[in-house]
């Protein structure tokens, strides 16, 4: 049994993200690990298979910056705003290079992570029936017959990423992690993965029991990094609100390849870490 | 359009809400005649009572005003799939004569003209909710004879298709547009216009529909939004 290492985000990404890896940065609107996505771009990782139910701005950055070879997902948009422009450009026009897609529904992705976390080869659901997803995602959607009732059900293979990255409110010094509020799919995504990194708002001496909170013990986490505000423009309940204005502003920046590249060059590649990035975008 | 969509909800509605127009309509209903209806958002919020309209399905406001917050696997498995939702409220980019919805792609899948966000929670909402209500602006581009991609199943290829596939939910029962209201014909499963908003002509509705639109024998006129409904909607948007 190994315990989580407390280290810098730079060191955690360097040790755990390799070219060609399958990685999931999860967060369902809440607690999206944006700081970690930036560090992956800074370190120039390539050919990644990105997994996420709801790829939004963090994956738009990674795709537009040329880090991704493939995307496994169920909804790729800018919530409440519209399209995810870099994702669209990659799928429609192959910029900066073609992006392979493996497309599911939310319920299917949830079943895949749950199977992965449970050590099962596949998940089962009443899903996809009657949709064109069955035909276009042949490699990972298959109909099966229930051995007990004869009912036709849908099977989806387990997701077991090489690495899952999430953001959480806090961890203690031993690396035990506490997640509060919208808990999304984070627990399943971490337990399904071979390695995991958790960025946190704060590191405390003792985790206080909190109703509805999820605790991930230190021994299922690879690394814990103290990155206050590391979910921005997503949010961490109890620490910040969703920066809806930032999501709205992203639409115009991401709509144009040159504007996007200039933004990435200035704010991500031109900064040493997340703290510098925050100052950089604030000055705009 | 939004007022008419809100009117379709009752106090007994347990509604799985999509973001955007469906969320606006559902929250308006909660402020008007259906204060006890239960709003479920796929981010894991059950019984949300937001004081302002959320931009995303996971705004903090939704979580903080919910009766319960559960995980994403749980919301889809225990609540939607198990049949605890009686209305799914959806939008989309395209809808066809059988109420099938496209939110995935315009043009061929492998060579898309426009890549849309994708199906998200909709396929299983459309499969499992007791009834599906759709809210969309009516135009020839959006109301098409056959969707480019079937993200969510309405009545599929026509009568009996849902039953053959073993889908448990009732499918699309109501489509509210900016021109009026459509419902499926009980025999043919084809969407027909059952009401037009005040001042809208049949010609306008036909012109804004990509298939040969028909009108039910009892096609009527919707009641104009009252001052109170409009004031409540405006207050909700301004909050």
Confidence of residue A21 (pLDDT cuts 50, 70, 90): very high
Overall average pLDDT of the A149-163 stretch: 97
Overall average pLDDT of the B162-182 stretch: 96
Distance (Å, whole) CA B52 – CA B237:
7
Average pLDDT, chain A: 96
Contact between B59 and A185 using a beta-carbon 8 Å cutoff: no
pLDDT digits (tens, 9 = 90+) for B119-135: 999 999 999 999 999 99
- Taking 90 as the threshold, does the pLDDT of residue A284 lie above it? no
Q: Which runs of E-coded beta strand occur in chain A?
A: 5-6, 22-25, 48-52, 68-73, 77-78, 82-83, 100-103, 122-125, 142-145, 152-157, 163-172, 177-179, 195-204, 214-216, 223-226
Q: Which of residues 38-57 of B touch A (CB under 8 A)?
A: 42-45, 54-57
Output the CA angle A67-A71-A75, nearest 5 degrees. Answer: 125
Overall average pLDDT of the B184-196 stretch: 97
Contact between A130 and B19 using a beta-carbon 8 Å cutoff: no
Using an 8 Å CB-CB cutoff, list chain B residues near A77.
116-118
pLDDT digits (tens, 9 = 90+) for B26-40: 999 999 999 999 999
φ, ψ dihedrals at A111, nearest 5°: -65, -35
pLDDT digits (tens, 9 = 90+) for B78-110: 999 999 999 999 999 999 999 999 999 999 999
- For the record, the structure tokens of B132 come out as 């599906």
CB contacts < 8 A (A, B): 173
| Burial state string for A162-176 with b = 16 or more CB within 10 A and e = fewer than 16 | bbbbbbbbbbbeebb
- Taking 80 as the threshold, does the pLDDT of residue A100 lie above it? yes
Per-residue model confidence (pLDDT) at position B59: 82
Using an 8 Å CB-CB cutoff, list chain B residues near A212.
69
Distance (Å, whole) CA A262 – CA A79:
24
Give the gap in angstroms from C-alpha B9 to the nearest C-alpha of chain A: 23
Rg (CA), chain B: 17
- Name which of B219, B189, B164 is nearest B97 in CA terms: B189
Contact between A28 and B72 using a beta-carbon 8 Å cutoff: yes
Using CA atoms in the order A27, A29, A33, A39, what is the torsion angle rounded to 10 degrees?
Answer: 120
Please name the residue of chain A whose CA is at the shortest distance from the CA of residue B148.
A132
Helices (H) and strands (E) in chain A, counts: 10, 15
| Burial state string for B3-33 with b = 16 or more CB within 10 A and e = fewer than 16 | bbbbbbbeeebbbbbbbbbbbbbbbbbbebe
Distance (Å, whole) CA A274 – CA A263:
15
Contact between B162 and A130 using a beta-carbon 8 Å cutoff: yes
* A33 close to A4: Cβ distance less than 8 angstroms: no
Distance (Å, whole) CA A77 – CA A222:
30
pLDDT digits (tens, 9 = 90+) for B201-215: 999 999 999 999 999
SS3 sequence of A94-136: CCCCCCEEEECCHHHHHHHHHHHHHCCCEEEECCCCCCCHHHH
Overall average pLDDT of the A191-208 stretch: 98
Q: Which of A82, A95, A107, A133 to mutate to test the interface with B (most CBs of B within 10 A)?
A: A107
Q: Are strands A77-78 and A195-204 parallel, antiparallel or unpaired?
A: unpaired
pTM of the model: 0.96
DSSP tag of B102: E
Neighbours of B199 (CB within 10 A): 9
Confidence of residue A254 (pLDDT cuts 50, 70, 90): very high
* B215 close to B192: Cβ distance less than 8 angstroms: yes
Using an 8 Å CB-CB cutoff, list chain A residues near B45.
182
- Taking 90 as the threshold, does the pLDDT of residue B18 lie above it? no
A31 dihedral zone (left: phi>0; alpha: psi -120 to 50; beta): left
In sequence order, the 6+-apart residues with CB closer than 8 A to the CB of A189 are: A24, A26, A113, A117, A161, A164, A166
Q: Which of residues 75-94 of B touch A (CB under 8 A)?
A: 76-77, 80-81
**Touching check for A212 and chain B: CB below 8 Å?**
yes
**Touching check for B20 and chain A: CB below 8 Å?**
yes
Distance (Å, whole) CA A11 – CA A13:
6
Using an 8 Å CB-CB cutoff, list chain B residues near A182.
43-45, 58, 63, 69
* A90 close to A63: Cβ distance less than 8 angstroms: yes
pLDDT digits (tens, 9 = 90+) for B53-86: 888 877 888 888 999 999 999 999 999 999 999 9
Give the gap in angstroms from C-alpha A7 to the nearest C-alpha of chain B: 28
Q: Taking the CA atoms of A97, A103, A109 and A112 in sequence, report the sign of the dihedral they define.
A: negative
**Touching check for B104 and chain A: CB below 8 Å?**
yes
Q: How many residues does chain A have?
A: 284
Confidence of residue B239 (pLDDT cuts 50, 70, 90): confident
Contact between A130 and B153 using a beta-carbon 8 Å cutoff: yes
Rg (CA), chain A: 19
């Amino acid at each position: 049994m190994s315990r989580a290492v407390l280290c810098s985000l730079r060191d955690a990404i360097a040790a755990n993200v390799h070219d060609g890896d399958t990685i999931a940065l999860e967060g369902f609107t809440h607690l999206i690990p944006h700081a970690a996505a930036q560090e992956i771009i800074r370190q120039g990782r390539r050919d990644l298979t990105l997994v996420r139910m709801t790829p939004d701005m963090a994956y738009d950055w990674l795709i537009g910056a040329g880090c991704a070879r493939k995307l496994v997902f169920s909804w790729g948009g800018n919530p409440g705003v519209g399209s995810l422009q870099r994702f669209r450009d990659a799928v429609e026009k192959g910029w900066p290079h073609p992006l392979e897609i493996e497309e599911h529904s939310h319920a299917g992705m949830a079943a895949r992570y749950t199977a992965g976390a449970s050590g099962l080869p596949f998940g089962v659901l009443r899903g996809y029936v009657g949709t064109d997803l069955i035909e276009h995602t042949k490699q990972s959607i298959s109909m099966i017959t229930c051995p007990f009732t004869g009912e036709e059900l849908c099977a989806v293979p387990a997701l077991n990423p090489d690495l899952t990255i999430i953001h959480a409110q806090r961890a203690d010094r031993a690396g035990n992690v506490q997640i509060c509020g919208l808990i999304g799919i984070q627990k399943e995504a971490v337990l399904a993965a071979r390695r995991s990194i958790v960025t946190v708002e704060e590191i405390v001496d003792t985790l206080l029991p909190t109703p509805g909170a999820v605790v991930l013990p230190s021994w299922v986490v690879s690394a814990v990094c103290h990155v206050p505000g590391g979910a921005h423009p997503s949010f961490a309940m109890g620490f910040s609100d969703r920066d809806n204005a930032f999501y709205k502003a992203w639409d115009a920046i991401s709509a144009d390849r040159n504007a996007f590249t200039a933004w990435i060059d200035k704010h991500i590649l031109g900064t040493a870490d997340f703290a510098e990035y925050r100052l950089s975008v604030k000055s705009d | 359009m939004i007022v008419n969509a809100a009117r379709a909800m009752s106090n007994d509605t347990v509604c799985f809400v999509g973001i955007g127009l469906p969320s606006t309509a559902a929250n308006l209903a909660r402020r008007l005649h259906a204060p006890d209806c239960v709003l479920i958002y796929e981010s894991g919020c059950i019984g949300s009572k937001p004081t302002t309209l959320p931009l995303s399905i996971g705004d903090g406001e939704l979580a903080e005003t919910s009766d319960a917050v559960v995980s994403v696997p749980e919301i889809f498995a225990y609540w939607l799939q198990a049949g605890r939702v009686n209305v799914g409220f959806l939008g989309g980019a395209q809808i066809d004569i059988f109420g099938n919805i496209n939110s995935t792609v315009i043009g061929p899948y492998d060579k898309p003209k426009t890549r849309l966000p994708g199906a998200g929670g909709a396929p299983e909402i459309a499969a499992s909710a007791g009834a599906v209500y759709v809210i969309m602006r009516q135009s020839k581009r959006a109301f098409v004879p056959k969707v480019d991609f079937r993200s969510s199943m309405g009545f599929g290829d026509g009568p009996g298709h849902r039953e053959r596939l073993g889908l448990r939910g009732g499918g699309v029962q109501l489509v509210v547009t900016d021109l009026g209201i459509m419902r499926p014909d009980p025999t043919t499963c084809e969407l027909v216009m059952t009401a037009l908003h005040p001042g809208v002509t049949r010609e306008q509705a036909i012109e804004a529909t990509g298939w040969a639109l028909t009108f039910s024998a009892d096609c009527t006129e919707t009641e104009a939004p009252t001052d109170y409904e409009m004031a409540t909607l405006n207050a909700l948007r301004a909050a």
